Amino acid sequence: MSKRVSFHELAEMELNDATIFFESKLEGLGLRFLAAMEAAVTHIQEHPQASPYIINGIGCKVLRKFPYSIFYSIKPDRIRILAVASQRRRPFYWHGRE
């Protein structure tokens, strides 16, 4: 049974901002980004330990075809998305989120 997923408030904002950014670059690209995110989150739900842990039990799932990574923690009752991070952004800026 897969765990439910919750997004940190700032991770949700990052997801929205990235979607708007990609859509502004090319019509439909934002939707493709969202589809890639959905596929990645589903994979995390089904196989939470499949992605490498980078620090203190935080997993990192790299998106296919987009320069973004999803950082997440596994809680007893859910998977918590901590950041939807551009790979071009300062690394670990999100550290300290729960």
Q: Residue 76 is part of which domain span?
A: 4-86
Asked if residue 91 belongs to a domain, the reply is: no
Mean pLDDT of 69-95: 89
The CATH number linked to 32 is 3.30.2310.20
In-domain check, residue 92: no
Residues 6+ apart with CB under 8 A from 97: 8, 10, 11, 82, 83
Residue 30 tokens, joined: 């934002």
Quote the pTM value.
0.90
pLDDT in tens, 42-74: 999 999 888 888 888 899 999 989 999 999 999
Collapsing DSSP to helix, strand or coil, 82 comes out as: strand
* 94 inside domain: no
Residue bearing the bigger pLDDT, 32 or 52: 32
- pLDDT at residue 92 above 80? no
Q: Is the pLDDT of residue 97 over 90?
A: no
pLDDT score for 1: 64
Q: How many domains does the chain have?
A: 1
Cα separation, 72 vs 63, in Å, equals: 13
Within a domain: residue 44? yes
